[in-house]
Amino acid sequence: MNVFRILGDLSHLLAMILLLGKIWRSKCCAGISGKSQILFALVFTTRYLDLFTNFISIYNTVMKLVFLLCAYVTVYMIYGKFRKTFDSENDTFRLEFLLVPVIGLSFLENYSFTPLEVLWTFSIYLESVAILPQLFMISKTGEAETITTHYLFFLGLYRALYLANWIRRYQTEGFYDQIAVVSGVVQTIFYCDFFYLYVTKVLKGKKLSLPMPI
């Protein structure tokens, strides 16, 4: 554990709380990709199966349970409680375009060909692309609510902080996880353009808008 890991976890948690709070207060999930939230729930489910086999610390266990709970509550709100406000017409990203290659890569590139290890690897690869349906939805509608942009910012910040965590661990422990690092870099790259728009528009009080696809 180091400061970057802790800050990364807190940023991740804040992102999820912001999203849940937005949905609950507004009683509306317009502008939020349900498909991205399904992918994130799948990420946590396949990654945290070791809850039943491997105890690391109270902190680790509590954070895993909180992330799982937040992910499934979010999915329930979108497809259950507030489903009438869900913008399904714009949440049209084809999930098979992500799931098929991720599943294939998980079987080809992993540290150990065991069920738990393959599922953990799958979760790492899937997390790196899980935000794409949300970014696709924003590009399709041309804009995003301010609270949604805050959610995306802290989600991207979490990945950037985890990159710093891996660099720090390599410096102090000689630890290097190639799968996690490469996937984390890919995921952070997806956020780079959004970070620029967030700083130049949202932080100046402007609404984030994107050019509509032709």
Q: Cα(150)–Cα(53) distance, rounded to whole angstroms? A: 35
Our count of domains for the chain comes to 1
In a domain, residue 179? The reply is yes
Whether residue 188 is contained in a domain is answered as yes
| pLDDT one-digit tens code per residue, 125-157 | 999 999 999 988 888 877 777 778 888 889 989
* Within a domain: 10: yes
pLDDT number for residue 85? 93
Q: What is the distance between the alpha carbons of residues 39 and 34, in angstroms, rounded to a whole number?
A: 9
Give 13-48 pLDDT, tens digit per residue: 999 999 999 999 999 998 899 999 999 999 999 999
Query: Does residue 94 form part of some domain?
Result: yes
More confident residue, 214 or 96: 96
Q: Is residue 213 part of a domain?
A: no
Domain that holds residue 67: 3-205
Q: CA 132 to CA 98: how far, in whole Å?
A: 9
Q: What pTM does this model have? A: 0.89
For 196-213, how does the pLDDT look when each residue is reduced to its tens digit (9 = 90+)?
Answer: 777 766 666 666 655 554
- Asked if the structure places residue 211 within a domain, the reply is no
Q: Comparing 118 with 192, which gets the higher pLDDT? A: 118
Evaluate whether 76 touches 88 at the Cβ level (below 8 Å): no
Of how many residues is the chain composed? 214
Q: 152-189 burial by CB neighbour count: b if 16+ within 10 A, else e?
A: bbbbbbbbbbbbebbeebeeeeeeeeebbbebbeebbe
On whether residue 214 sits in a domain, the answer given is no
Could you tell me if residue 212 is inside a domain? no
Distances (CA, A) of 15 to 52, 94, 131, 213: 26, 24, 13, 27
